[in-house]
Chain A
Amino acid sequence: MKRIIWDRKPLRVLLFIGVFVIGSYLSSYAANEVAKLTTAPEVPPAITRAGGANVTVELESTEKKGKLSDGVEYTYWTFGDTVPGPFIRVKVGDNVTFTLKNSAASKNIHSIDFHAVTGPGGGAKATQTSPGGKTAFFWKALNPGIYIYHCATTHIPTHIANGMYGLILVEPEKGLSKVDREYYIVQGDFYTKGKTGEKGLQAFDIEKMRAEQPTYVKFNPMATPGNLKANVGETVRLYVGNGGPNLTSAFHVIGEIFDTVYQQGAVGSEPAKNVQTTLIPPGGAAIIEFKVDVPGAYILVDHAISRAIDKGAVGILEVTGAEAPNVFKPLKSGGADAGHK
Chain B
Amino acid sequence: MLLQFRGLTISTIEKIALSVTLFIFIGFTYSVYASGPQDPADKDEEEDHSHVIEAKVPSDKLSEMRRLKNPVVANKKVLEEAKAIYTGKGTCFNCHGDKGKGDGPLAESFNPPPRDFYDKDDIGWQKIRTDGEIFWVITNGAGAGMPPFADMLSDEERWSLVIYIREIGKSSATDLATKGKKKH
Contact = CB atoms under 8 A, between A and B. Distances in A.
Contacts of A132: 88-89
Contacts of B148: 128
A166 B41 CA distance: 50
A128 B89 contact: no
Interface stretch (A153-161, A217-225, A276-284, A327-335): A153-161
A155 B144 CA distance: 8
Interface in A178-212: 206
Of the listed residues A108, A109, A130, A133, the one surrounded by the most CB atoms of chain B closer than 10 A to its CB is A130
A107 B110 contact: no
Contact of A130 (B91, B109, B110, B145): B91
Contact of A128 (B106, B144, B147): B147
A154 to B, nearest CB: 5
Contacts of B90: 130
Contact of A131 (B91, B106, B108, B109): B91
A3 to B, nearest CB: 46
A108 B89 contact: no
A145 B94 CA distance: 36
Contacts of A157: 109
Interface in A60-117: 107-109
B94 A130 contact: no
A135 B144 CA distance: 22
A13 to B, nearest CB: 40
Interface of A is mostly: loop
B151 interface: yes
A130 B89 contact: yes
Contact of B110 (A108, A109, A155): A155
Given A128-B152, A155-B110, A107 B89 contact: no
B125 to A, nearest CB: 21
Interface of B is mostly: loop
A129 interface: yes
Contact of A155 (B89, B91, B106, B151): B106
B144 to A, nearest CB: 7
Contacts of B144: 154
B102 to A, nearest CB: 15
Contacts of A107: 91, 94
A133 B152 CA distance: 8
What band does the interface of chain A fall in when counting residues whose beta carbon is under 8 Å from B? 10 to 19
Interface in B79-107: 88-91, 94, 106
A142 to B, nearest CB: 26
A154 B145 contact: yes
A132 B90 CA distance: 10
B127 to A, nearest CB: 28
Contact of A129 (B106, B109, B145, B152): B152
A109 B109 contact: no
Nearest to B105: A107
Nearest to A132: B89
Contact of A158 (B109, B151, B153): B109
A133 B89 contact: yes
Nearest to A104: B89
A155 B109 CA distance: 7
Contacts of A131: 88-89, 91
B6 to A, nearest CB: 43
Interface in B137-176: 144-149, 151-153
A130 B93 CA distance: 13
Nearest to B108: A206
B120 to A, nearest CB: 22
A172 to B, nearest CB: 35
Contacts of B145: 154-155
Given A108-B106, A135-B151, 14 more contacts: A107-B94, A108-B94, A128-B147, A128-B148, A128-B151, A128-B152, A130-B89, A130-B91, A130-B149, A131-B89, A133-B152, A155-B110, A157-B109, A158-B106
22 contacts: A107-B91, A109-B147, A128-B151, A128-B152, A130-B89, A130-B90, A130-B152, A130-B153, A131-B88, A133-B89, A133-B152, A135-B151, A154-B110, A154-B144, A154-B145, A154-B147, A155-B109, A155-B110, A155-B145, A158-B106, A206-B108, A206-B109
Interface of B: 88-91, 94, 106, 108-110, 144-149, 151-153
* Among all A-B residue pairs, the 3 with the closest Cβ atoms: A155-B109, A130-B152, A130-B89
